[in-house]
Amino acid sequence: MYGSHLQNIANNGFTVVDDVFAEDEIRSVLHEISKADANKSTFRKSAGLFAIRQFLKEIPAAKSLIFNAKLKATIAALFGDGYFVVKSIYFDKPEESNWFVAWHQDLTISVDKRTDLPGFGPWTTKQDQFGVQPPLNILEDNFTIRIHLDNADAGNGALKVVPGSHLKGIYRPETIDWDVETETTCEVKAGGIMVMRPLLLHASSRTTNHKPRKVIHIEFSRAGLPVETSWAELGKIQ
């Protein structure tokens, strides 16, 4: 059942799994989000983007809704046991949004404090949250699940990716050779998920079809960190 997805992840760095969430489950998640206090520092609200960092900590009632039987079965089939949540973000890209994201890899992890660690760096700070680039083997083993609460296509900023780029280590966007590489748009229907490796080159365009795109982005790892630091957001797969 999951054989093609395993092959897609290994070769291309991503796969799309349809129908992980039913319409009523999506409505329940959105209902919990609507009750949240948007004045916290982990919330970002503008005309072009609404985002919640540390989403599963800020909206704890959503966790049992998100980790339904099908999502847990998918994670177990694709990655086995031993993984845990290390970052979660909710994105709401409204109909009139002109927000876009340039080509990049997800090279940083979120930790609780900044400290000198061999093999870790450079460091970043965003909304009082520390980020650091860890050793390459951690990034190669991590994975991300993007849960789509709306239909996503090229018109409303579905992710564009460079298949196979996750196998090339640190791949700077300015060095992409478009005579060799190809760009693919990852269309995902509401209730489906996109699974990807963080080293996969990806980007997102502006919305042109006046349709919203709401996504829950969750990163997973099974890596132990040096004792001097800890994951900023750590949670079990329920």
The Cα 98–Cα 208 span in angstroms is: 8
Q: Is residue 237 part of a domain?
A: no
3-state secondary structure of 77: helix
CATH number of the domain where residue 55 is located: 2.60.120.620
Structural domain includes residue 67? yes
DSSP string, 182-227: --EE--B-TT-EEEE-TTS-EEEPPP-SS--EEEEEEEEE-PPPPT
Overall domain count for the chain: 1
Residue 96's pLDDT is 66
| Domain enclosing residue 48, as ranges | 3-221
Position 97 scores a pLDDT of 65
- pTM for the complete prediction? 0.94
CA distance 235 to 64: 12
Q: Is residue 234 part of a domain?
A: no
In Å, the largest CA–CA distance within the chain is 48
- Please check whether residue 229 lies inside any domain of the structure: no
Residue 75 is which amino acid?
Answer: I
**Residue 47: predicted pLDDT:** 53
Would 235 be classed as within a structural domain?
no
pLDDT computed for residue 43 by the predictor:
67
Q: Is residue 69 part of a domain?
A: yes
What stretches of the chain show up as alpha helix (H) in DSSP? 3-12, 23-34, 55-58, 63-66, 69-79, 136-141
Both tokens of residue 205? 């365009």
**Residue 37 domain flag:** yes
Residue 26, domain member (yes or no): yes
pLDDT given at position 206: 85
Per-residue tens of pLDDT for the chain, all 238 residues = 899 999 999 999 999 999 999 999 999 999 999 888 677 776 666 655 688 999 999 999 999 999 999 999 999 999 999 999 999 999 988 776 677 889 999 999 999 999 999 999 999 987 778 999 999 999 999 999 999 999 999 999 899 999 999 999 999 999 999 999 999 999 999 999 999 999 999 999 888 888 889 999 999 999 999 999 999 999 999 7
Residue 169 has φ and ψ, to the nearest 5°, of: 70, -145
